Structure 1
């Protein structure tokens, strides 16, 4: 009987644990997906959800605006379901916010939102990268999507899992495929990271990268398709 009870408990735990899957996408995806991206300090928590320590309404002081279309310093939070995570800023904390305007014409954050406390080690790196992406978009690249990679992947260990600190620089490469998307016709270095790394990066996309296996990239393909590769430099 104890075994059966334990089994049921584990099954229930598994259902709850895997019921929510938050996918935030690349930074260029976030920049294209959110109308309001900015850093701000929480001045006051104006309201909490009933019987909860989860913020429902906060007032913020803007620090830096990356992408901003709605000039309000009041942010609302959806009621948490208890399944998926939702940001819960505290007074005096500083955050990198990603928000869209709701139908009620409010800045509302819901579950699985990628907003992050600036104390998070990756947040400041992401902020620097977002500025670079925003500048690229302003340079008549606003309609372009980028295939983002990390320079560490082109090192000898080809590791993606470990966190590598951003070096505040990037490389930009344009890869042109043949009509069948099976091989590379040409690679143009728009902004290089030095001959050593440029050679490794171009070699990878010529010889090892298979566009047909990447459905997220294939969805971007049109008659004039060019894969624009953004490689973040790491320390």
Structure 2
């Protein structure tokens, strides 16, 4: 074979090898870049998850504990019930509860039972959170710090013995809920609690008996 053709063939093989090596190197580099991008994406996702978890741990978490005390009225007419509602902030941030321009926070309902044993409730008696300096006036709001507890007293007379449902609902400040949403978390609309209490040493009457 002519030496010129041999040289051309060798040159062609060299060109093919060079282009093949370049293509292989490009593919390897692309895979490395894709792997690095995926690794960065995973690290960013893990950081975001940890950030959300940290924010959730720092959120206020309020436990509502309703503590009633019942005794016969001194004049024998019905029962006097005193209640202390304890609000304990077990979270890592302040929480503000608004009372002004909100429905009364504390409700008392007499529970009656039908023939199937299902509870039915009378319309509630409603009580506003009292102002400390003037119990005849309503409080505006409470701010509960992390680890802090607020105690709110209520007192009322019940003429009828029976089973009562005590309910408490403190509305969370709207700005606090908006700030939580901006941070990617969600604050509850209100802190709530319920407790049944039996007033009087009697059996709970049925609806038909009370209507008689």
One fold, TM greater than 0.5?
A: no
Could you state the TM-score of these two structures normalised by the residue count of structure 2?
0.27
Specify which structure has the bigger relative contact order, considering alpha-carbon pairs within 8 angstroms and separated by 6 or more residues: 2
State the TM-score, normalizing by the size of structure 1: 0.25
